[in-house]
Every structure is written in structure tokens, then in C-alpha cells.
A and B are shown apart, each in its own frame.
Chain A
């Protein structure tokens, strides 16, 4: 069987206001965001846990490790 490699390029994002890091691979299980949740799939009303800036209002900066 041909096993196509899943695109596992889970990304890391950083809040441009306070530097909080969201790692797609880790998610934020304590806040109800499952490991592996892509940035795009996080609810629009989510806010940065460290500084409260709304998701809609900032650009997470993609960090390539």
C-alpha cells in the first residue's frame, strides 16, 4: 500500500504584541484547543492567553523552527 506522507508541517506562531507562542503540535489542551489544531481553525473569539489581544486583531507571526 502506498503510504502517502501526511503533510505534518505543523507550525509555530507568535503573538506580535506579547510574544506568546502557539505551537500547533501542542495545541492548548488546558484551554480546549486540541493538540494539532491549526491556527486557522482556532475560534475567532479566541484571545491570546497572556495579553488578551483578540485573534482577529493581530497577525500571528509564523516562526519556522
Chain B
């Protein structure tokens, strides 16, 4: 019996493996990962300091433990260099160094794995802005545990408070800013947008003194975070004594920092899928059953573009993994077919876990006609903002909540009107 082969051991890969094993304990299961296969929860990276957890404390299980739990083979520090979707075969090579670019086909230790079904759970690559200067290589990303280990090692080299500059005031940038501020570090956030969470929250809020983004900015300021909004980083240099990093912004402002974190967005990892001939959009294109353009090849998580949507969050992975596991477990070797199960996404509000001011936001579907307005509820707590996105007919298509108003989340989810013809709505 050929295995189910999963590429990637992040939240998507391991969750899918677990869900599959609930339904099928006999089919061989193989996972391949470029990292060390440690099971961890990515949301924990941005609150580890507040919870006094080291990077290693975030590991729930090592690869060997997962292999036992899942009754699976887990190949760590390996990269797939070729997928042949006709032959249903992949070529895997071990990696000496995560940064090494591996020569294809001439590598001495290629392993060939035949699969019955293949799932791509490759995640996304952190976007890197083009920054000039002799210290550009000092800019760290924090999109996985390996990155995070390097970041914590770098941070430990500085006596507190370290001066940390964060590029990007989105969900990840704000959560890391809050976590570092709680730990006593001096944080500055640089973003090209005029506000925090520019892609999630409205720019202003008619009917309110301030909108949710401004409230978050002010709450973080109160913890010591400094904002450089509507600005971009142009150059980063080592200082003359090489003891500090000198950052210059587009308006000429200069900042000093000990560490710089980049959290400016994610690019789904599509190169391998593209070279295998799969249809690629912004991500690996899948239908509502997570099927790619190649038979028996699926995609899940941050690398997948499901019915045109990129949803780099946990909840879509949970819903997707359950549906996909059912599809995969229905596979019959005898007629080489599956009963594909459609994913249904309920409304999935995004939680911004900034202790200074938690936010829950359910964005309206892209291109929705309508406008944001403050809810008319009188609330003495000025940190408790409730905002609704209403269609011209007054239907609620989205909402944003801050602070104690986050408790209104369930009621507002029930009040949401889903767009018609959305195959994934439930």
C-alpha cells in the first residue's frame, strides 16, 4: 500500500496527519520537513516572552515523538526537489544546511518516494523588503521555530532593555512588539501604512472618537512602543564601533537598534508546486476540497490558495485538515479514487493577541460594498470599541472589537450575513 505523503510538519502538516490517523490507522504515513520536525504552535512565538518560555519550551514533541504518536515516518532536514505527479513520485534529498541550495539530480543521496496521495503543507516564506546598507543581513524573520530560536539567541546577547526595531505593524509585528515591551525591551515599529493592522482594520471609524487601530497604537504606546507610521526603512548600517545598528528611514529619521525583526508579510511557498506543473496563483491553487490541479495532490495551510483565498491563520487549517483527512481516508486503492469532502468555513474572526488591547476582527469579503461605523452602544470603557461593516442595505458583513468588547464576538458572528454563492460558507 503506497503511503500518504505530507510535505511540511508545521501546524498544517501535523494537524492533517493527526486527523488522518483518527480515521485510518493502516495506510503508511510519511512526512518530510526541511526543519527538525519539532511540533510547536506558531501562535506561541509571539507571546513566549510574556509567558516566560524559552524557544525550546515551545516544543510540544520532537520528530521522534511525533513519528511514534502518528505511526509515521518523519524525514527531518530533508527537502523535496522534484514532484512527478504522473508517476506519483517525489525525490527527497537531505540538507546539510537549511540555507544551502541543493543541486538537483546529481545529488548522491536522493531518496525516491512513491505516494498514493500527496499533501503540500509547505507554509509561506517571510517577505523581505529590499533594504540597503552593510547590515541588511542582520534583519531577522520570525516565521518558524528555527527563526525564533535565532531571534532569542540574538536577544539574549543584549542586557535588557534591548532596543528592537520591528518592520511591519501588522498582526505579527504588533504581537511581537507587545511581547517584547512586556519583557522590558525598547521597541520601535516601522510601517509604510498610516496605522497599525492596515490590512485588517478600518482607517477611521465614523461615530467614534478613535478607531480600533488608533486605540491599539495608543495602548502599545503606553507600554513604551514607539511608532514610525507612513515610513519605510531605507538603509541599515553597522555603527562605526559596530556596537549598534543604525537605521535610516525614508524621511531621513535615524534610529538605533540592537536587533531588527521583519514581519512585513508572507509569500506562499509555490516554487516546488510550480516546477511540478501545478496551477499557481498567489498560492498553490486548490478548489473547495483542497485539491490542486494534479490528481491526488492537495494543499493545506499558508501555502494554499483555497477558492481564491489566502488565509494564513490557524482556524482555516483546522477546518481544512478535518475535511481533507476525510477525503484522504476515503481513498480506495482498488479504483484509485476518493470521495472528496468540501471544506466549510464558518465565520473565522482573527484574534490579535496583544495583551495591551486584544482585538477580534472579522473582515468583510474582499470588494464588499459598504462602510465601517461605530456601534451605538454607549460604553464607559473607552478601550472597548465595537465597529460594524455594513452593506448599503444595512446588512452586517464584518466587525471589529477591541478590549472588553471582544466578548461581543459570538453575538456578532451570529449577526453576520454571508455572501451568496460562497461555496465555502457554512
> Which of A17, A49, A52, A54 lies in contact with B409, CB distance below 8 A?
A49
A30 touches B318 (CB 8 A): no
Q: Closest residue to B47 on the A side, CB-wise?
A: A19
- Whole-angstrom CA separation of A57 from B47 in the bound complex: 21
> Which of A30, A47, A50, A57 lies in contact with B351, CB distance below 8 A?
A50
> Which of A19, A30, A31, A54 lies in contact with B43, CB distance below 8 A?
A19
B407 touches A51 (CB 8 A): no
A31 touches B410 (CB 8 A): yes
Q: Which residues of A contact B47 (CB under 8 A)?
A: 19
- Contact flags A1-44 to B (C-beta < 8 A → 1, else 0): 00000000000000011111000000010110000000000000
Contact A16 B411, CB 8 Å, known A51-B314, A53-B314, A54-B318? no
Give how many A residues have a beta carbon under 8 Å from the other chain's beta carbons: 16
A52 touches B314 (CB 8 A): yes
Q: Which residues of A contact B317 (CB under 8 A)?
A: 52
- Contact flags B301-321 to A (C-beta < 8 A → 1, else 0): 000000000000111011100
Asked whether B365 is an interface residue with its Cβ less than 8 Å from the other chain, the reply is no
- Whole-angstrom CA separation of A31 from B413 in the bound complex: 11
Interface-centre pick from A19, A50, A53 (highest chain B CB count, 10 A): A50
- Whole-angstrom CA separation of A29 from B241 in the bound complex: 59
- Whole-angstrom CA separation of A47 from B351 in the bound complex: 15
> Which of A16, A30, A31, A52 lies in contact with B41, CB distance below 8 A?
A16
- Whole-angstrom CA separation of A20 from B313 in the bound complex: 15
Asked whether B353 is an interface residue with its Cβ less than 8 Å from the other chain, the reply is yes
Q: Which residues of B contact A30 (CB under 8 A)?
A: 407, 409-411
- Whole-angstrom CA separation of A39 from B319 in the bound complex: 23
A-B pairs, 9 with minimum CB distance: A52-B318, A30-B410, A52-B315, A51-B314, A17-B41, A18-B43, A50-B351, A31-B410, A51-B315
| Chain B contact residues, CB within 8 Å of chain A | 11, 18, 41, 43-44, 47, 51, 60, 313-315, 317-319, 348, 351, 353, 407, 409-411
Q: A51-B351, A53-B318 are in contact. List 17 more A-B contacts (CB 8 A).
A: A16-B60, A17-B11, A17-B41, A18-B41, A18-B43, A18-B314, A19-B353, A31-B410, A47-B318, A49-B410, A51-B314, A51-B318, A52-B314, A52-B315, A52-B348, A53-B314, A54-B318
| Chain A contact residues, CB within 8 Å of chain B | 16-20, 28, 30-31, 47, 49-54, 57
Q: Could you list 13 examples of A-B contacts with CB < 8 Å? A: A16-B41, A17-B11, A17-B41, A17-B314, A19-B51, A30-B411, A49-B410, A50-B315, A51-B313, A52-B315, A52-B317, A52-B348, A54-B318
